[in-house]
Structure 1
């Protein structure tokens, strides 16, 4: 209420009753003294137009950095950061290789940009740069794959154990744990293993088990048996045979009851589980029990 009285009092708008009430307030004496003192003061000469010009000049020199431009600069910083992030994301996505994988009991056919063909065996992964394929025909393999390579520039298959280089041919690469095998069916392939290069002509293969390299024969103009839904082995330790059985049939194998290092020569079906188990067990004179998704091997004379 006193604020209203003060404004009216300064403008001489109080009624007699309001003025009488205002004079009774504790602050009236103070307001009256201020009014009497300021009444004797003279205001300095003031040029409104000149003051406005000075204000405009000062605002132009000082204020834009803080008030006018700062929001826009902040926007530019955010926009620039967004452009950098989007640009980095675009470059990252374009640098990613094309990757094809298979699960247990699965294989896939892949046609590369130059019409080269790849058959990817079970539990395998293949990666390559699709965008720069014409300049660099290089791919990475983990697992097993059969290649029919179109004529052209050098074609390279890299693995964590060795590298295979060709110009145009048909070959198979198997890259499993402690097991590396390259078989050439047509043309000539060059294999780099542990720093040593080996030429493998058609009808030959090289195999490295636990770092020990050896050579075998292979059919000319043939193809790996797994393309016909069979897995074939020649004097291979049984543990690698059983590992392949697991991949092809997606069945867990317990081999603790047998000697998994005995050598196996033979073939098993990749589609008929019972037939495959018999094809493995009968030549080695071992027995097995199959329950659900688990198979246990044991010696024939072992108690069941």
Structure 2
């Protein structure tokens, strides 16, 4: 990243090309976090005149000695501002989380403080407290990620849908709108969903689609197909397949005269869009039209 990108970003002076490159940098997520927290800091009310009067009444003044106190009033204002900044800095530094995210059609790998590894799928984000890591190995996830956890104390992945707990294993977690799936590839995984715990040995999955709980199987000692640039599905409603297609290729998908709740079993390439389109449309018996970054899937009888 260019050294002057931060200053130009703060002044809204980055070109579109520079902004795009800046967003790909490791530092960008941290700067966004700092910016958001800074906006939440609010200075408490401070009455300098009242403070001055209290100070004056506490002193033993003599009529023959005149002491100009205007500079002291200015000093009080400065001291208050410094105190607020110090308090805000302490609050920020002690609550700051490390955060990593991916954009559409993007993937990244993250190494955690204990050398555990995380591979983030497209349009996903994780955050964790590095300061508290030795006491609590907890990662917050929004999206999808594959975890290779180093052995040690309990390791948890917190999502809006449920919590996953392990000691040392390999597993995948996907948390999207109305879609929650945990797959264990090695070791044993505990899933807490709706206050009920489910144990997943290697080779099993826990899947919730639109509130319906389903069990599935997986390949032991393997890894999710998306890590190898392929998205795979087994009896999943078509609308979730199309949503993943959007994320992997950064396109806008529209549908016309098709049943997007029909179940889809199959896979598509995450690197070749035309092959992916054929892989989705052919088994689903639907048509498609690709124009720039827009894709229309439509039924056989669409006028």
Judge same fold: TM > 0.5, yes or no.
Answer: yes
What is the rounded CA distance, in whole Å, between the counterparts of 2:64 and 2:135 in structure 1?
54
C-alpha change, 1:271 and 1:63, in structure 2 (3 Å) is farther
What displacement does 1:66 show? 7.0
The 5 Å alignment of 1:279-298 reads 279-298=279-298
TM-score (norm 2): 0.77
What is the rounded CA distance, in whole Å, between the counterparts of 1:272 and 1:133 in structure 2?
39
Q: Deviations over 1:145-200 (max 9, x none)?
A: 00000001110000000000000000000000000000000000100001111001
C-alpha change, 1:91 and 1:285, in structure 2 (3 Å) is same
Give 5+ residue unaligned stretches, structure 2: 1-58
State the partner residue of 2:5: none
State the partner residue of 2:264: 264
What is the rounded CA distance, in whole Å, between the counterparts of 1:188 and 1:66 in structure 2?
79
C-alpha change, 1:65 and 1:129, in structure 2 (3 Å) is farther
SS at match of 2:133: coil
Q: Does structure 1 conserve the Cα–Cα contact (< 8 Å) formed by 2:256 and 2:302?
A: no
Q: Deviations over 1:220-260 (max 9, x none)?
A: 00000000000000000000000000000111111132110
State the partner residue of 2:42: none
TM-score (norm 1): 0.76
What displacement does 1:96 show? 1.4
What displacement does 1:76 show? 4.5
SS at match of 2:115: coil
What displacement does 1:64 show? 9.6
| Structure of higher CA gyration radius | 1
The 5 Å alignment of 1:183-262 reads 183-262=183-262
C-alpha change, 1:60 and 1:152, in structure 2 (3 Å) is closer
Cα-Cα RMSD:
1.9
State the partner residue of 2:177: 177
Q: Does structure 1 conserve the Cα–Cα contact (< 8 Å) formed by 2:165 and 2:190?
A: yes
The range that moved more, 84-93 or 60-69, is 60-69
State the partner residue of 1:121: 121
What is the rounded CA distance, in whole Å, between the counterparts of 2:72 and 2:65 in structure 1?
10
What is the rounded CA distance, in whole Å, between the counterparts of 1:223 and 1:242 in structure 2?
22
What displacement does 1:130 show? 1.4
Q: Does structure 1 conserve the Cα–Cα contact (< 8 Å) formed by 2:106 and 2:121?
A: yes
SS at match of 2:290: strand
SS at match of 2:219: coil
What is the rounded CA distance, in whole Å, between the counterparts of 1:191 and 1:66 in structure 2?
74
What is the rounded CA distance, in whole Å, between the counterparts of 1:98 and 1:193 in structure 2?
26
What is the rounded CA distance, in whole Å, between the counterparts of 1:232 and 1:63 in structure 2?
89
What is the rounded CA distance, in whole Å, between the counterparts of 2:77 and 2:287 in structure 1?
72
C-alpha change, 1:69 and 1:207, in structure 2 (3 Å) is same
What is the rounded CA distance, in whole Å, between the counterparts of 1:140 and 1:268 in structure 2?
28
What is the rounded CA distance, in whole Å, between the counterparts of 1:126 and 1:64 in structure 2?
68
